[in-house]
Amino acid sequence: MAIIYNGVDIEDDVSVNSAVHEMNAGGMADTLDIVFEDEDHLWPKWNPKIGDTITYKDGGTSTGKMYVYDFNLEDNQASIYASNTPPYLKDVYSKTWEEVYLTQILQEVTPSYQLNGIEDVWYRYKVCSTKLVSFLNQTAELEGAILTVYDDKVLFVNEHALELQEPRFEVSCEGADVKMKDSQSTLFDACIVQSGVYMGSFRATDGERLYRPNRVIPCSSDAEAYRYAKALLRMANKNKTDIRWRGDLIPELSAGVTIDLINEDNPSWGGTKYCYRVRHDYGKRETTIYMRNPLEDY
């Protein structure tokens, strides 16, 4: 185990009561909640502040750089709450771009970024008038990507490509606490996006269930509307199956990978699953996996 606080390894100076690391493949920030024993009252002397950095390593895995967003010092304990979201991403950003590529926007608003499986698309115009992280997350979703941050690098990753990966691990339901939900009967067959004179539609299956977004999606071409329709259909359908697995700690497992779920009691719920959220409780030596069936073709 190693704990790096503001660049200093403090492992030998602290005693950890509990540590919970939750990873999310898009949509939500990764978080670290860690509680230290502090009978010697070291933490008030160290004067922790919002925006401090912490990295927790255990079992050969690392949280990457996390930023403290809250802390509590009382009852001989120090509780630190951190996320992978750099403070600047929480600031409101206001700008309108015209005739711009996605990478040009990212170069302007982030110190480090990477596109994985995502085209460097061109926008006739793009508007941001909200927190930067919200703008980037919405942009990623409309391009069929997930937004995540690791060690300060902003990543746009093709979600469908992640779901097509070969399983990294084999996980058995035997002895684990498993809950399942199936809403596949409410799957949408197609999505349509219309913005002024521009319109695009994407159909995944035969049927009459049409998804229309209940918000305005600005578009500047039919091709852009088509691209958004495909991504929004994925957003509407991807969580129609949901499995929560809780069992022994699997520290090497992260969100954004696939596993082979072994379910001998209910084989139809087994097979390849996509892990969209993973929670490691290092104190209880327990992992909780939130997973779903991969979507086909889109």
Terminal CA-CA length for the chain: 40
What is the identity of the amino acid at 159?
Answer: E
Rounded distance between C-alpha atoms, residue 225 and residue 227, angstroms: 5
Residue ranges of the domains in the chain? 2-84, 88-160, 167-183+240-298, 185-237
Cα–Cα separations (whole angstroms), residue 164 to 56, 213, 255, 296:
30, 26, 14, 9
Place of tokens 């539609």: 201
Question: What is the per-residue pLDDT across 168-225, written as a single tens digit (0 to 9) for each?
Answer: 999 999 999 999 999 999 999 999 999 999 999 999 999 999 999 998 899 999 999 9
CATH code that applies to domain 167-183+240-298:
2.40.30.150
What is the identity of the amino acid at 290?
Answer: Y
State pTM to two decimals: 0.94
pLDDT given for residue 139 in this prediction: 97
Q: What angle do CA 7, 21, 10 make, to 5 degrees?
A: 30
**Fold assignment, 88-160:** Phage tail protein beta-alpha-beta fold (3.55.50)
pLDDT given for residue 74 in this prediction: 86
Dihedral angle computed from the Cα positions of residues 152, 156, 159 and 164, in that order, rounded to the nearest 10 degrees:
-80
